[in-house]
Amino acid sequence: AQSVTQLDSQVPVFEEAPVELRCNYSSSVSVYLFWYVQYPNQGLQLLLKYLSGSTLVKGINGFEAEFNKSQTSFHLRKPSVHISDTAEYFCAVIFISNFGNEKLTFGTGTRLTIIP
Amino acid sequence: EAQVTQNPRYLITVTGKKLTVTCSQNMNHEYMSWYRQDPGLGLRQIYYSMNVEVTDKGDVPEGYKVSRKEKRNFPLILESPSPNQTSLYFCASSLLAGGHEQYFGPGTRLTVT
């Protein structure tokens, strides 16, 4: 079955430190990859996406992610976090073989907590 | 302002009492979808609609119905709610299915007692 794994359910990080949130998916088919952020009591907002081309993708708020096809990963990184980055982060994948409903399959989320 | 709206934002109801959660988008999007979010499970798709003519089940459709009579609206119907449908629900839309960004509504927190 096609699935998306976010192994870290919670990640505490000191302010101004770097962070990496991990995402792996299980499939050999072509994929589109996304990271969404959910601030407290809000809906989801797109951080960045990979559809094709350069494997390093830059998004909003200083985040970037790198697609690694051989490792089926799409880890999210930020070199220096701020208090305002406290949120839940979701990795999501479209497995392109699902013709007709190219739905987002979500990971279980990683709660990022910034420590002052 | 381009947005997806949902109503109500919060709802407490009792088992078996039919309810409808409305979803509307003003971006002329073809694709719309409903998700439920539960702790430790992420978001799971309930139903989706490729356009006004095509609507189909997602991963967890049991106990839910939808309709897409016009492009902008995609209501979620719970004909006989049960406590296991207590959850946070999100409506989303995108220009088309596939690699297009999905825009999410603010969510509806439903409690069924």
State pLDDT tens for residues A65-85.
999 999 999 999 999 999 999
Q: Which of A96-105, B8-17, B97-106 has the lowest mean pLDDT?
A: A96-105
Q: Which residues of A touch B89 (CB under 8 A)?
A: none
| Residue B67 to chain A, least CA–CA distance (Å) | 17
pLDDT score at B107: 95
Beta bridge partners of B108: B89
Instruction: Kindly state the average pLDDT of the residues B64-90.
Output: 97
**Structural tokens at position B67:** 């309709």
Q: How many CA atoms lie within 13 A of B108 on its CB side?
A: 27
Is the CB of A49 inside 8 Å of chain B's CB atoms? yes
Other CB atoms within a 10 A radius of the CB of residue A98 amount to 13
